[in-house]
Amino acid sequence: MEWRASPYAMRVGALTAAAVAGRLLFLGFQPLWRDEAFTAVVVQRPLGPMLDAVRADSGAPLLYLLDNAVTRVSSSPAALRLVPAVAGAAAVPLMAALARRIGGVRAGAGAAALAVVAPALVTSARDARMYALATTLVVLATLLLLRAAERPSAGRWFAYAAAASLAMYTDYFAALAVMAEIVALVVVLRADARRVACALLSAAAAGATLVPWLIAAHGQFNHAGEFWVPPLSVTWVGGALVQFFTGPPVNDWVPGKQLLVAAQAVAVVVAQGLLAGLVIRRGRLSPDGRRALWYCVMCAVLALVFLVVISAFRPLITGSYASVLWGPLFAVLGAGLGLLDRSRLAAAALALTCGVSVALSAAATHPDTTGAIRLIDSQLGPGDVVDAHPSQYLLLLYYGDARVLQRTVVISSHVAWFWGTAAYPAGAVMLAAPAQIIANHGDIMFVAQPGETPENLPSGYHAARTACATGSCVTMYAPPA
């Protein structure tokens, strides 16, 4: 008997293909930004030294292992973002499957369409970091637990444990999602004792697989002190969570920032409209659909609550970290899109949301490090030194040529670990400018984002001139006359 895909499956498949194409379209357009530079620098190393750097930093290893394999072919920005792009596109059918349980095939197709164009999902899928992969794996675990609760089997419990394990090996915050999923299983799905026991065993098994890595990476626990996230506040939490609708914040130095922020505001309005529509039409959902709806909501919201509570003691909440947890909410938002009565209204919502993602993709939102290097090359003399602010050092390490790198250091009395110091080569940090540079009256070229200042300038050195590429400025500090 010949197998034929259903119209729904064909639609979701087409939307998934569109997601792949859309994420690949601008994959190498933006230069790398600071955190991506850490990935880029460490994954080009042999496996052992790469893992040594990751163990000394703060992350889980899966994305680095995958990107390390990719660098066997290419280490370009596009290649480094390939895994997140594919992982981000893979979230489309998963979110569709969750939404279909909420509101049927229309809700599933709506969630798939929204996942193709949502700014938060599109931008994270073009980021050479672990967040897109972690989001997809958390959504997969959420779906697999729901399936296991519906029809328990050894295979389904194993699949859930495997997805949860991979999620935690991608980002530690996925553990909060696993905890929330178990609570949702009990509170929303009202699973019997046998199902709850199987879920707990599966989650425990997933957590146990992480133990060998945590032992190997025990040095990460020494980072318990300083961090860049500010103390918990309503403003900061709100700014992090609104990125669910808007995608990442736009830096002050980005050309056309006001227009981009206005576009992001449109995305917020559209999303709020979809949520309002879902609330209005909730009566159309079946009892099973309402249960699936609240299951997705609790899985995401409770995990975010866990993150906020932890942040009261150790500030951790950011849009990037929260993105690991909020994936199931896109199924809810997409269900609202699918349940709209007017197809033109749904098309308009998608078009506006897509426009925001295109604007964020096409704008120069990342620093132009190659432009800064051209400025350095045009002025760097044999007796000069390049003082890179920690925000720029790894970018220079990735993009710089041998001539620039031989003279590039970070002049600072202390560089916090979260600047990616685990990837710094020996001798990268100096307490003061080299004595021979000062003795020979050499210039100091300070490279930084707009607004950043040098820490330890020699006495008498003064700013002679400044030139900027987008997001990266080079200031020439000259010796006293």
Residues 6+ apart with CB under 8 A from 369: 31, 32, 392, 395, 396, 398, 399, 469, 472
Alpha-carbon distance of 67 to 128, in angstroms, equals: 9
Token pair of 433 as six digits: 């400018």
Give the pLDDT of residue 213. Answer: 98
* Burial of 451 per CB tally in 10 Å (0-12, 13-18, 19+): exposed
Give the DSSP H/E element, type plus range, for residue 474.
strand 472-478
Tally of CB atoms within 10 A around 192: 10
Give the pLDDT of residue 342. Answer: 80
Going by C-alpha positions, the residue among 131, 87, 46, 40 that lies closest to residue 324 is 131
| pLDDT higher than threshold 90 for residue 122 | yes
What average pLDDT does this structure show over 129-152?
98
pLDDT class of 3 with cuts at 50, 70, 90: low
| pLDDT higher than threshold 60 for residue 1 | no
What average pLDDT does this structure show over 30-46?
98
What average pLDDT does this structure show over 357-378?
97
Give the pLDDT of residue 223. Answer: 83
Single-letter code of the amino acid located at 201: L
Lowest mean pLDDT among 14-28, 38-52, 250-264, 274-288: 274-288
Give the pLDDT of residue 2. Answer: 59
| pLDDT higher than threshold 90 for residue 298 | yes
Alpha-carbon distance of 330 to 267, in angstroms, equals: 13
pLDDT digits (tens, 9 = 90+) for 174-233: 999 999 999 999 999 999 999 999 999 999 999 999 999 999 999 998 886 778 999 999
- 477 beta partners: 444, 463
Mean pLDDT of the chain: 96
| pLDDT higher than threshold 60 for residue 82 | yes
High-pLDDT (> 70) share of the chain, %: 99
**pTM of this structure:** 0.96
Token pair of 232 as six digits: 């918990």
What average pLDDT does this structure show over 227-243?
95
Token pair of 271 as six digits: 């999303």
- 474 beta partners: 447, 467
Q: Which parts of 26-61 fold into alpha helices (H)?
A: 34-43, 47-56
What average pLDDT does this structure show over 282-296?
95
Alpha-carbon distance of 112 to 134, in angstroms, equals: 18
| pLDDT higher than threshold 80 for residue 95 | yes
Report domain extents, the chain. Answer: 7-362, 369-478
Residues 6+ apart with CB under 8 A from 15: 92, 96, 109, 112, 113, 115, 116
CA distances, 307 to each of 133, 135, 206, 289, 317 (Å):
19, 15, 20, 27, 6
- 476 beta partners: 445, 465
High-pLDDT (> 90) share of the chain, %: 94
Give the pLDDT of residue 481. Answer: 79
Token pair of 217 as six digits: 């990476």
pLDDT digits (tens, 9 = 90+) for 303-348: 999 999 999 999 999 999 999 999 999 999 999 999 987 889 999 9
